[in-house]
């Protein structure tokens, strides 16, 4: 038994994670892949790394020191279940199986329960940062038992990204907590990307600037409060010219956004938890809308507003600044909603998730890494149980600064027929939160009218029903929700 850590599944993410592990002092990395060729390729390409290859699960287990610790990096779903079953056969109580794929957290909860009965520790771990992150330093979101964290913690701290001197890994919580948090990370990633895309579209259609010119705008934004990986790569993508046609690449790429499902999971879970993640939902639906060419085709002639003149000069500059502020405000909403979902998930599944710690491990390595996460960390440092993130003083100030521009941009998008679903739904959420009274009272009245669903009153305790089809007097009733 020579290796202290193993990796199963040597596609790009697994290979890169294995190389990252092997590059750290103190690690010897056992590697295993279903088909032998991937293992041979990895060994041949990286003779510098001290890998211990195995070609059967038995040998793989034998090559690991106790407690045996293996990170599975295979496709989510059945392939993951298959590998777990094989590892359970050759591992012993106290050993640790880590799933580093994008598993659905409820699958992780189920697997953890099943594996726990064998005495083996099962850890669902969110891994963010793509291929480069896996190699150079990802953001890691492990769930699982406290016992597993004792062994895993030091290993993971060694390979994670570092932000402000701190490793981007924390023990998120038990069983599915890590994958839950990774899921919400991806939901926020969807919202962030959609907001950036809307900002680009608004600028392009309102000012007529070229993608390369807009790349400069994003590069400039990346020097301020919007500084983030996604803004940075947006500038890169917009600046890219297609080699074949000489046109901006963004004009050649088919405008139908793909999705592997984690955004949809975030929204589905939020619906179950009753958490309004409207920005994330709009971002997910915007991808769906883009991916229905047949519907878009027949809808092209639908009436829209008559054309307006393009903005130029100082007007264009002022407009771009307003878009920047609207983007920032909407981004605050998206993160606030995402953290709300984590808070609700933690309450529902009994996880002790430290929201401040989550914001800190997202400062480096992951796709949504941004300066901004420091502000979130500060907000939770000041008040760990903050009920609504965007009510933290820093964000209140930022929203106060941005709201006029935000409103203007949302009205302009509506008036000129430029779709900005995430911008506008974020603003509606913000105003919904702010409202002293919501028309939810009317909804309750309607529900009571057609279904005797009852309502509560603002002025006294109890549950009430109006006899709508009778004499319309009010009676006390049993609460039916």
> Active-site positions?
182, 189
Closest CA to 339 of 394, 386, 290, 371: 386
Label residue 246 left, alpha or beta by phi (over 0 means left) and psi (-120 to 50 means alpha).
left
Residues 6+ away with beta carbon under 8 Å from 428: 278
194 binds ligand 6PG (CB under 6 A): no
Least distance from ligand 6PG to the Cβ atom of residue 57, Å: 26
One of 16, 27, 121, 128 touching ligand 6PG (CB under 6 A)? 128
Q: Rule CB under 6 A: choose which of 47, 93, 246, 258 binds ligand 6PG.
A: 258
Say if residues 80 and 86 touch (Cβ distance below 8 Å). Answer: no
User: Is position 102 an interface residue for ligand 6PG (rule: CB under 6 A)?
Assistant: yes
Q: Which is nearer to ligand 6PG, 43 or 259 (CB)?
A: 259
CB 354 to ligand 6PG: min, Å? 20
β pairing state of 166-167 and 464-466: unpaired
130 binds ligand 6PG (CB under 6 A): yes
Please tell me whether residue 95 binds ligand 6PG under the rule CB under 6 A. Answer: no
Q: Decide if residue 367 touches ligand 6PG (CB under 6 A).
A: yes
Candidates 74-82, 123-131, 195-203, 204-212; binding stretch for ligand 6PG (CB under 6 A): 123-131
Task: Give the sign of the dihedral formed by CA 362, CA 364, CA 367, CA 371.
Answer: positive
Which parts of 23-171 fold into alpha helices (H)? 36-45, 57-62, 78-90, 105-116, 130-136, 146-159
Q: Name which of 138 and 211 has its Cβ closer to ligand 6PG.
A: 138
HSE at residue 131, side-chain half, CA atoms within 13 A, is 4
Q: Of 122-130, 214-222, 333-341, 406-414, which part binds ligand 6PG (CB under 6 A)?
A: 122-130
Give yes or no for residue 101 binding ligand 6PG (CB under 6 A): no
Give the other-Cβ count within 10 Å of 237's Cβ. 15
Cβ count within 10 A of residue 208: 13
- The verdict on 104 binding ligand 6PG (CB under 6 A) reads no
Q: Pick one of 9, 67, 100, 129: the residue that binds ligand 6PG (CB under 6 A).
A: 129
Residue among 105, 236, 125, 102 at smallest CA distance from 171: 125
Query: How is residue 180 written in tokens?
Result: 């839950």
Our finding on whether 256 is near ligand 6PG (CB under 6 A) is no
Instruction: State which residue has the least CB distance to ligand 6PG.
Output: 128
Contact pick of 43, 114, 249, 259 for ligand 6PG (by CB under 6 A): 259
Tell which positions 173-192 bind ligand 6PG, by CB under 6 A.
186, 189
- Asked if residue 289 binds ligand 6PG (CB under 6 A), the reply is no
- Please choose, from the candidates 50, 186, 51, the residue with its C-alpha nearest in 3D space to the C-alpha of residue 130: 186
CB of residue 260 to ligand 6PG, shortest distance in Å: 4
| Three-point CA angle 443, 444, 445, nearest 5° | 90
Site residues, ligand 6PG (CB under 6 A): 102, 128-130, 186, 189, 258-260, 262-263, 366-367
């Amino acid at each position: 038994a020579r290796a202290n850590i193993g990796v199963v599944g040597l596609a790009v993410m697994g290979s890169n994670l294995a190389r990252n592990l092997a590059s750290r002092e103190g690690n010897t990395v056992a590697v295993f892949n279903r088909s032998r060729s991937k293992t041979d390729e990895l060994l041949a390409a990286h003779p510098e790394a001290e890998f211990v290859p195995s070609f059967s699960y038995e040998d793989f287990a034998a090559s690991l020191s106790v407690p045996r610790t293996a990170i599975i990096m295979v496709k989510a779903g059945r392939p993951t279940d298959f590998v777990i079953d094989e590892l359970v056969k050759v591992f012993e109580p106290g050993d640790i199986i880590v799933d580093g794929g994008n598993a659905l957290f409820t699958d992780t909860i189920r697997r953890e329960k099943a594996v726990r009965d064998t005495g083996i520790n099962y850890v669902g771990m969110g891994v963010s940062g793509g291929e480069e992150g896996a190699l150079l330093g990802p953001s890691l979101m492990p769930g699982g038992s406290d016992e597993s964290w004792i062994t895993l913690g030091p290993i993971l701290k060694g390979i994670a990204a570092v932000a402000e001197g701190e490793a981007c890994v924390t023990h998120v919580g038990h069983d599915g907590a890590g994958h839950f948090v990774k899921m919400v990370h991806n939901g926020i990633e969807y919202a962030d990307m959609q907001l950036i895309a809307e900002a680009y579209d608004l600028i392009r259609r309102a000012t007529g600037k070229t993608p390369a010119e807009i790349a400069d705008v994003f590069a400039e934004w990346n020097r301020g409060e919007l500084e983030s990986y996604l803004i940075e790569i947006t500038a890169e993508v917009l600046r890219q010219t297609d080699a074949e046609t000489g046109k901006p690449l963004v004009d050649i790429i088919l405008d139908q956004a793909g999705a592997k499902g984690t955004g949809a999971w975030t929204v589905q879970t939020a619906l179950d938890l009753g958490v309004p993640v409207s920005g994330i939902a709009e971002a997910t639906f915007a991808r769906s809308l883009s991916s229905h060419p047949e519907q878009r085709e027949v809808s092209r002639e639908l009436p829209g507003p008559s054309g307006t003149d393009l903005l130029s000069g100082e007007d264009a500059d002022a407009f771009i600044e307003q878009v920047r502020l609207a983007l920032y405000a909407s981004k605050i909403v998206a993160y606030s909603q995402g953290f709300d979902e984590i808070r609700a998930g933690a309450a529902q599944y009994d996880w002790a998730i430290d929201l401040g710690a989550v914001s800190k491990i997202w400062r480096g390595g992951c796709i949504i890494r941004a300066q901004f996460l420091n502000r979130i960390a500060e907000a939770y440092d000041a008040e760990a149980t903050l009920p609504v993130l965007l009510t933290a003083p820093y964000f209140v100030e930022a929203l106060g600064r941005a709201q006029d521009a935000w409103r203007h941009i949302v009205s302009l998008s509506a008036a000129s027929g430029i779709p900005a679903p995430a911008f506008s739904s974020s603003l509606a959420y913000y105003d919904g939160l702010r409202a002293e009274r919501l028309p939810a009272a009317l909804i309750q009245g309607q529900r009571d009218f057609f279904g005797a669903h009852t309502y509560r009153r603002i002025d006294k305790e109890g549950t009430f029903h109006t006899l709508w089809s009778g004499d319309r007097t009010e009676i006390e009733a049993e609460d039916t929700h």
